[in-house]
């Protein structure tokens, strides 16, 4: 088999087993995966070769990843969404009605990856941010997470988003229909991501982005537009790891009497004391307990 010398390339778009890759000279090539074992995702650095009578480049190797965003799919199998990230831009809006537990899980995934977090509250022009929502938003700010309220449609505060994303490799995540693609369309100079209106029958977002695309930003850095979700379960292996994904629970949990404390039914639990003293947000604690149960269920299905 005749082939050229292998060269590195960056995965910039995924379409099932076919990809778009960018080589070091900035050129974009069509490529396909060799075999069924390799599963590259947006953000991966891979090795490609050209083969005789083959119009597409062949991906035959994936370089080691600095990190990866993973989740459990419908079959409770671990799957990668993107790799080599430095930030998660977690987006919420209304419609669809925000699921703050999904937001918490994305925050936790970013914490476990040790990357930056930006929470974006879109569709501000629709005046949906009521007092209850303001309390939730403030709870994130009190923990230390940057929150930006914006309107992609009216182009309000998009400059603040640009400042957060500059020189980062960021993936936009969140529920379907919250406006991730519209935000990306407005902050990038060369993106025409498909957008779609909210379904009138379900008031839930329709899945517009069915593949992942990496787009360069004019001021430096790049963004990945990922398919929207109606549920997100991070691929966490143990209940103990869940606490590490909630930094306020991890902080107070360090002072618990027992090292294996799960902060639910144990005595002398500093997390429950902090909860009682209003040092931990009750809704965030409920989110923590829900994720503990999800991980327990996932672990049962493994065996």
Instruction: Tell which wins on pLDDT, 93 or 302.
Output: 93
Question: Cβ of 29: how many Cβ atoms within 10 Å?
Answer: 15
DSSP 144: T
Cα within 13 Å of Cα(43), Cβ side = 25
Taking the C-alpha atoms of residue 78 and residue 70, their distance in angstroms, rounded to an integer, is 7
Q: Which CATH superfamily is domain 7-62 in?
A: Nucleic acid-binding proteins (2.40.50.140)
Q: How confident is the model at residue 208 (pLDDT cuts 50, 70, 90)?
A: very low
**Beta strand 78-83 pairing with 87-92:** unpaired
Q: What is the mean pLDDT of residues 44-48?
A: 98
Question: Cβ of 22: how many Cβ atoms within 10 Å?
Answer: 16
- The helix or strand, by DSSP H or E, that contains position 276, with its residue range, turns out to be helix 270-276
**Beta strand 57-62 pairing with 18-23:** unpaired
**Residue ranges, CATH 2.40.50.140, the chain:** 7-62
Q: Which CATH superfamily is domain 68-225 in?
A: P-loop containing nucleotide triphosphate hydrolases (3.40.50.300)
- The yes or no reply on domain 239-302 and CATH 1.10.40.50 is yes
**What's this model's pTM, rounded to 2 decimal places?**
0.89
Taking the C-alpha atoms of residue 152 and residue 269, their distance in angstroms, rounded to an integer, is 44
pLDDT at 22 over 90: yes
- The helix or strand, by DSSP H or E, that contains position 294, with its residue range, turns out to be helix 282-302
b/e 132-162 (16+ beta carbons within 10 angstroms → b): ebeebbebbeebebebbbbbbeeeebbeebb
- The helix or strand, by DSSP H or E, that contains position 142, with its residue range, turns out to be helix 131-143
Instruction: Please report the pLDDT score of residue 118 as a whole number.
Output: 98
Instruction: Please report the pLDDT score of residue 289 as a whole number.
Output: 96
**Residue ranges, CATH 1.10.40.50, the chain:** 239-302
Q: How confident is the model at residue 121 (pLDDT cuts 50, 70, 90)?
A: very high
pLDDT tens-digit series, residues 231-240: 898 889 888 8
Beta-carbon contacts of 301 under 8 Å, excluding residues fewer than 6 positions away, are 76
**Residue ranges, CATH 3.40.50.300, the chain:** 68-225
Beta-carbon contacts of 200 under 8 Å, excluding residues fewer than 6 positions away, are none
């Amino acid at each position: 088999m005749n082939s050229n010398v292998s060269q590195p390339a960056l995965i910039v778009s995924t379409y099932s087993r076919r990809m778009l890759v960018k080589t070091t000279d900035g050129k974009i090539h069509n490529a396909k995966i060799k075999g069924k074992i390799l599963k590259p995702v947006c953000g991966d650095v891979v090795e490609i070769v050209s083969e005789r009578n083959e119009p597409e480049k062949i991906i035959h190797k994936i370089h080691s990843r600095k990190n990866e965003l993973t989740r459990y799919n419908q079959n409770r199998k671990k799957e990668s969404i993107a790799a080599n990230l430095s930030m998660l831009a977690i987006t919420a809006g209304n419609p669809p009605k925000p699921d703050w537990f999904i937001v918490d899980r994305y925050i936790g995934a970013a914490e476990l990856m040790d990357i930056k977090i930006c929470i974006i509250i879109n569709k501000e022009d629709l005046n949906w941010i009521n007092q209850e929502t303001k309390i939730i938003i403030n709870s994130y700010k009190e923990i230390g997470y940057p929150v930006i309220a914006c309107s992609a449609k009216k182009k309000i505060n998009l400059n603040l988003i640009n400042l957060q994303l500059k020189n980062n490799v960021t993936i936009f995540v969140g529920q379907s229909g919250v406006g991730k693609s519209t935000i990306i369309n407005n902050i990038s100079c060369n993106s025409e991501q498909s957008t779609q209106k909210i379904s009138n029958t379900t008031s839930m977002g329709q899945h517009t982005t069915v593949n992942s695309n990496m787009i360069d930003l004019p001021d430096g850095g790049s963004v990945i537009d990922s398919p929207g979700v109606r549920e997100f379960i991070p691929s966490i292996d143990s209940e103990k790891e869940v606490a590490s994904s909630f930094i306020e629970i991890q902080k107070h949990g360090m002072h618990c009497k027992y090292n294996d404390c799960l902060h639910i039914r144990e005595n002398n639990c500093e997390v429950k004391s902090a909860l009682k003293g209003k040092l931990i947000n009750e809704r965030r604690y409920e989110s923590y307990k829900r994720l503990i149960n999800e991980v327990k269920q996932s672990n049962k299905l493994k065996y």
